[in-house]
Chain A
Amino acid sequence: MNKNHRVPSNRTLNAVEVKSKFGAEFRRFSLDRSKPGRFDEFYGLLQHVHRIPNVDLLVGYADVHGDLLPINNDDNYHKAMSVAAPLLRLFLQRKEEADYSSFGTDTVTRKKTPAVLAAVLLRPDANKKKPPIIISLPKDFRPVSSIIDVDILPETHRRVRLYKHGQEKPLGFYIRDGSSVRVTPQGLEKVPGIFISRMVPGGLAESTGLLAVNDEVLEVNGIEVSGKSLDQVTDMMIANSHNLIITVKPANQRNNVVRSSGGGATSGSSGRSSDSSTSVYGYSTPGSMAMTPSHIIQNYEPDEESEDEEDLVIEADRGTKLNPQAAARAMASTSMPALPRYEPHLDLRPSNGTMATSASVGSLNARDRGVEGRNLEEDGTVITL
């Protein structure tokens, strides 16, 4: 637990001076840079020092470039703490009055002074030009389809996450039975396998470019498909359809990622799959596990998606006997998975698959992303690697 020292003159290297502004009020305090604590503790502290315990807040800070960036999770809180030099300027807004468009590049420098910014914050509807790019809050980020675990998978394999959350697009692909050739101690052996057989034009799979016809499906959400029937794999995919992670062996092997020998250690933001230790594909599991730093954030765990899988519970009005028709109507409206307020973002998001990939939430480091993006552009025509 970080302690509020309330000693503004503490100028040691370890201390971060915090100047927090809520409305017209300022609070100043300091925090220990080496032990920033957790975001929720920090959030509680802010509510406490501003004496607004029950107000939902949107926390923003001005970074070194003068951009107003949000603080709403441990990661960006720690980032803010680490870059504060040494003053950390915070801007608090009531959540219900928050102006999301104020965040982004150049938001602070454009206005030159935080004071001006603060004025803008207070009058969100003031006449001003829309910032060129809107960055939504990371908390509200919609996870998008992406290639994950590039650092730990063999180069011939690709793990793809198809994230359908809140989209009208169908997943849009079909699978079939087939056979593939495996190298075994006895030589080449034909084994049955599951393959992508067809793409629905405009579907998630096709528009993201993550899957292709004749890709062999190896795993579904961490579970190997070998030995399973087509129907079983179908059921597994449908059961995981809201957050489907498929490991494939792409039919087109020319777009594979080239990995430097350093491998996993450099690409710190990638995860490892919890099941990869049991995979039979022959890449050295213990080695990669030893190399991967222990603090790695997993990209997924089998039960991670509990939040988005939350079942909908409707409390009926207790006072009156509910009209079944009305209830059914309520049911129909609330059971729509797409929440309207996401829609502006969705519309702005480019539908191009490459872009979607590169915009994914930090699951690829810059180098990987570049390689991946280029390769996808050059699909199949030029050998670049």
Chain B
Amino acid sequence: MIVTPSLSELNMAASLTSTANVRLLSSFAWSSLLSGPIGSRSLHVTAVCCKNRAARIRVGKGEKPLTYEQAYHPHHIAHHKGWLSQHTSNLKGEDGAAERTIEDVFIRRFMFGTFHGCLADEIVIKRRGNLLIVCALMLQKLPPQKFYFLTGYSEVLLSHFYKCPVKLEIQTLQDKHVYKYI
């Protein structure tokens, strides 16, 4: 049965002088309002963890190597970092940003899988007109002829998939370049 406070009750509550009592009575009134029928659900809210976790590698014991890209957090983009994906669809009046992002995600996973274990750092994707340029930093784990095989394969497959010319620009390193240890 719903207990609704009548007007007379409220008046009675209002006539009391001490503020604490008023607060107590009003909170009682509110909770009875909120509780609704007997056995119903209420809103449970936990304490909020006000922390940002995006693209951040948490501090460890000092043995974790980080590249420059990993060491700087996303709020450092345009201050200490550049962009990993460069296209014009985020400018005013341009559309297609979502499609470009999906393409970028696919390309990153494709490159990660095709050149498995050879990527030294994140891939940079640049779009110039119709052309899609994928710039990758590789480790010298494979002999050069295997690199060329995989390069030719990826270029043709991605071109046929996205119906635009795709070029791969590869630079090789001996090891991953460590910026700091965390």
| A in complex with B | no
Residues of B within 8 A of A (CB): none
